[in-house]
Amino acid sequence: MAQNESLSQELFLSSSPHIASKVAARNLMTNVLIALAPATVFGVLIYGIPALLNILVSIVAAVAGESLFRCITKQDIRAKDLSAVVTGLLLALVLPPTTPLWMTALGAVFAVVVAKEFFGGLGANVFNPALIGRAFLLMSFPASIATWARPLGFGTTLTDAVTGPTPLGIFKLSGGLPGVGADFVAAGLAKTPDYWTTIKTLFIGIHGGTTGESSILLILVGAIFLLATKTIDWRAPLTMIVSACILSLILGMDPLFSIFSGGLIFGAFFMATDYVSAPLTAKGKLIFGCGAGIIAVLIRVFGNYPEGVSYGILIMNAATPFLNRFLQKKYGFVPKKKPAPAGGAQGGTK
Amino acid sequence: MAVSTFKRGLLLPTRKHATEGTPVELAPLPKQVVIPINQHFGAPNKCLVNVGDHVRRGQKIADAAAPGPMTVPVHASISGVVKKIEPRTQSNNTEGICVTIEADPDAAGGEEFLPPLDPFTCTKEEALARIREAGITGMGGAAFPCHVKLNPPPNKPIDFIIADGAECEPYLTTDEAVLTEKPNMLILGLTIVMKITGVKKAIIGMEDNKEKLIPMIEREIRLNEQAASVGEISIGLCKTRYPQGGEKLLITALTGREVPSGGLPMDAGCIVQNVGTLVAIAEAFTLGKPLVDRDLTVSGGACKMPKNIRAPIGTLLTDLPPVFMEVDYDKLKKILFGGPMMGNAVPNLNIPIQKNTSGIILLTAAETVAELEGPCIRCGRCIRNCSARLSPVIMNMALEAGDLDEAVAAGLMDCIECGSCTFMCPARIKLVQRFRIGKQRLRIRQQAQQAAQAAKAAAAQPAPAKT
């Protein structure tokens, strides 16, 4: 008896369930980091030291910015959950490797503090922080952010980097695939103007662009990892790519080129699947992806600059609370019959 | 054999290996038992004995305080002297009146069981009265009075009797033990229920990890003389998947039907009975035995000798001899009555075994969760795994915002509280706990609304009377 009473002090009392899966929030963030690793390593290999520095600065600035803000506002520091690391890495990957380091740092701090912590921190932000960081830099310093480094290989430094337009930029300027092929040669991006070689180049990723978005192949490797570990849901990325494809076809663009150039694939798998700013429900995710794909293509075609994916996702982020209302059909759902509203109400109250 | 299932749900670690396939061991009669007088879902009972009374095993010690269908009596589980009648903590962590009976070694006592009754010649009313008198409630956990379930209103035609042997909770193995050791009593119980209700089809639902038991059970069905005359008994194999043993999902898996929102299994034409309950029904007729014992699993990392035991209702774990229940106090971090997904954590070991106690699980720190809640990262895992296809995260957000209507729209009142969402939550948010509180809040609001309406109606009525 005495033993029992002393024991009760150490016993846990809590509501069921009393066991939980081993997957904690931190594991999910780790999964995203693992998935991003191939694209990150590739970016550093082809763009060299500037890309590496950009990534490091972005991560450090994001973590430091978040921790400092939480410290000042007297909240516990949450660097351990890795969400700031993910934001920092994502931001660096969607910026050109030539971005001046102070700009990257500013963007990262803006992303975590203004886009995330001002809204209440992890889980409460309305917009994708990394994309907000990128949009902020693009608004503030359009010249630097829309300048893309040519791939030069690891070992080059910032001063050696030569800038050239991204494939999508060329497309935007020349207006047609034959022109793109010619411009590829002119820009030194591809050796031959052949269509499939162009697509292959885009798929493998040795061309100008942002640090992480260039190699579709490696992004897909990461995406498959995320899908296999059930870290992300297939709905939003799939509908985003499919809708972008279909709309490109309707608007007379080459759909393959449309999805392989620019950040569409990267955005679909790593930005549109952001837990916090994307819809929660299955139906909401389908509509979200669809909308983001359509807006991305529309901005690419009719907008002023080839910057569709970021804005497509950010605009759909704003629609997320609304999209969350598209709930799935509940178990045992019975459509309410109009002649007997009293009976239906009674059934609901039980 | 075709394996049926429902959508979504979880693959849980079963953790049943410690007691799987082990026989049910009969615990010796303890020196005292503590019997709560209310052990069913429904109207409260009144105590029928006084301190100092001599009672015999099987004697009724509590019964309905007022006439009504939703009560079942409680019986003394050992012979002895009533020592105390006092409020004590029960396994659901509420206080209730309990009768403490001390075993009397001198008085030979004996048992006071009911006379056996032939279920196939008696009337339906006699049979239902017998089930009630034997104090039988659902033994799967909800403790719903059995005779009420077996007497559905005439406007709800029943097509299927389902024997629930899908023991989806980790650790627990008593249903499996019933299927292994007493398939004859189970089939008999099933035929009695079919006879009473007049239903021609019965399905024994079990998970596919018990597939090897099928030939034996099929043989027992053939051996039962009554089985063919009352109808057709079949075996339904389901995927091992949580919460397969939840009655709604078992119905869906076996019949493809869904219990309508806010409804009961009878609205889908089904009656679901736990296999242990069916055995108790069979015993109430053949032996006249009231529900005074139950089989349960004692297991968990802090339990030195996990096993399936049969103990009198009201037994305290601490009164069991060490060979039956040796606790590793150094490791013990949580005591559960029931399984880890839906059972209750209790503050100490001085809690009596009840009619609906399917197991007592002693968890170590490593087996349970002791992490603090983090912020919701809105990963949607709770939605992806909800077997009732609800949106737990949206329900939770709505509850935090105080918007009960939005929570109901997302499925609050359809939550079966299986705990899948909370199990999967990477932020360790206690979703189910909040939904229980949310349901309470909604009930309070509804009561207030009804009271307001009644007051309005009362105020409005005298006016036309005057004119």
Q: pLDDT digit string (tens) for A159-202?
A: 334 444 455 555 544 444 444 444 444 444 444 456 777 777 77
Q: Is B415 annotated as a binding residue?
A: yes
Contact check, Cβ <8 Å, A332/B342 = no
The single-letter code of the amino acid at A164 is: G
Collapsing DSSP to helix, strand or coil, A204 comes out as: helix
Residues 6+ apart with CB under 8 A from B82: B49, B50, B51, B52, B53, B54, B55, B61, B99, B100, B101
pLDDT reported for residue A300: 84
Q: Chain B partners of A12 at a C-beta cutoff of 8 Å? A: 333-334, 345, 368, 370
Residues 6+ apart with CB under 8 A from B30: B78, B103, B311, B312, B315, B316, B319, B320
Least confident of A163-172, B48-57, B239-248: A163-172
Residues 6+ apart with CB under 8 A from B360: B296, B297, B298, B317, B335, B336, B337, B353
Two structure tokens written together for B234: 């079949």
CATH topology assigned to domain B115-286 = Rossmann fold (3.40.50)
Q: Is B379 annotated as a binding residue?
A: yes
Binned at pLDDT 50, 70 and 90, residue B12 comes out as confident
Mean of pLDDT values over B327-343: 89
Q: Is there a contact between A202 and A262 (Cβ–Cβ < 8 Å)?
A: no
Q: How large is the C-alpha radius of gyration of chain B?
A: 23
Q: Which of B161, B215, B209, B169 is nearest to B189 (CA)?
A: B161
Q: Is B238 annotated as a binding residue?
A: no
Contact check, Cβ <8 Å, A4/B333 = no
Contact check, Cβ <8 Å, A350/B262 = yes
Q: Is there a contact between B103 and B32 (Cβ–Cβ < 8 Å)?
A: yes
Half-sphere exposure of A276 (CA within 13 A, CB side): 26
CA distance B386 to A331: 10
Q: Chain A partners of B347 at a C-beta cutoff of 8 Å? A: 8, 11, 13
Contact check, Cβ <8 Å, B383/A328 = yes
Nearest CA-CA distance, residue B336 and chain A, Å: 9
Orientation angle between helical segments A282-302 and A308-323, nearest 10 degrees: 150
B272 pLDDT above the threshold of 90:
yes
The single-letter code of the amino acid at B118 is: D
Nearest CA-CA distance, residue A3 and chain B, Å: 9
Q: Is B303 annotated as a binding residue?
A: no
Contact check, Cβ <8 Å, B343/A13 = no
Collapsing DSSP to helix, strand or coil, B317 comes out as: helix
C-alpha angle with apex A78: A284 to B395, nearest 5 degrees? 30
- Does B65 contact A at CB distance below 8 Å? no
Beta strands in B22-152 (DSSP E): 24-26, 32-36, 45-47, 54-55, 60-64, 74-75, 80-89, 95-103
In chain A, the percentage of residues whose pLDDT exceeds 70 is 78
For the sheet containing B45-47, what is the strand order? B45-47, B60-64, B74-75
Contact check, Cβ <8 Å, B368/A12 = yes
Q: Chain B partners of A281 at a C-beta cutoff of 8 Å? A: 380, 383, 391, 394
| Interior/surface letters B7-28, b for 16+ CB within 10 angstroms, e for the rest | ebbbebebbbebbbebebeebe
Q: pLDDT digit string (tens) for B181-236?
A: 999 999 999 999 999 999 999 999 998 888 899 999 999 999 888 888 888 999 99
Contact check, Cβ <8 Å, A331/B387 = yes
Two structure tokens written together for B193: 């229920």
Q: Whole-prediction pTM value?
A: 0.85
Q: Which of A21, A275, A324 to mutate to test the interface with B (most CBs of B within 10 A)?
A: A21
- Does B302 contact A at CB distance below 8 Å? no
Binned at pLDDT 50, 70 and 90, residue A129 comes out as very high
CA distance B356 to A118: 50
Q: Is there a contact between A226 and A269 (Cβ–Cβ < 8 Å)?
A: yes
B460 pLDDT above the threshold of 70:
yes
Length of chain A: 350
Name the residue in chain B with its Cα closest to that of A80.
B374
In chain B, the percentage of residues whose pLDDT exceeds 70 is 97
pLDDT reported for residue A194: 67
Q: pLDDT digit string (tens) for A9-19?
A: 577 888 889 99
Mean of pLDDT values over A47-64: 92
Q: Is B47 annotated as a binding residue?
A: no
- Does B422 contact A at CB distance below 8 Å? yes
CA distance A18 to A14: 8
CA distance A158 to A78: 33
Q: Where in chain B is the domain with CATH 3.40.50.11540?
A: 115-286
Contact check, Cβ <8 Å, B342/A17 = yes
Q: Greater confidence, A336 or B338?
A: B338
Least confident of A21-30, B317-326, B399-408: B317-326
Q: Is there a contact between A39 and A222 (Cβ–Cβ < 8 Å)?
A: yes
| Contacts by A224-231, CB closer than 8 A, 24 or more apart | A225/A31, A225/A34, A225/A35, A226/A31, A226/A32, A226/A35, A226/A269, A226/A273, A229/A31, A230/B384, A231/A28, A231/A31, A231/A32, A231/A35
Q: Which of A33, A25, A28 is nearest to A212 (CA)?
A: A33
Nearest CA-CA distance, residue A283 and chain B, Å: 12
pLDDT reported for residue B205: 92
Mean of pLDDT values over B300-323: 89
Collapsing DSSP to helix, strand or coil, B237 comes out as: strand
Q: What is the DSSP string of A170-203?
A: HHHHH-SHHHHHHHHHHHTS-SS--HHHHHHHHH
Contact check, Cβ <8 Å, B414/A329 = no
> What mean pLDDT value characterizes chain B?
89
Q: Which of B370, B414, B432 sits opposite A331 (nearest CB)?
A: B414
Q: Which of B353, B354, B355, B335 is nearest to B345 (CA)?
A: B335
Q: Is B418 annotated as a binding residue?
A: yes
A96 pLDDT above the threshold of 90:
no
Is the Cα dihedral B252, B258, B261, B267 positive or negative?
Answer: negative
Collapsing DSSP to helix, strand or coil, B311 comes out as: strand
Q: Which of A7, A25, A324 sits opposite B348 (nearest CB)?
A: A7
B332 pLDDT above the threshold of 50:
yes
Contact check, Cβ <8 Å, B342/A16 = yes
- Does B55 contact A at CB distance below 8 Å? no
- Does B424 contact A at CB distance below 8 Å? yes
Q: Chain A partners of B411 at a C-beta cutoff of 8 Å? A: 327, 330
Two structure tokens written together for B201: 């089809």
Two structure tokens written together for B289: 């035995």
Nearest CA-CA distance, residue A125 and chain B, Å: 10
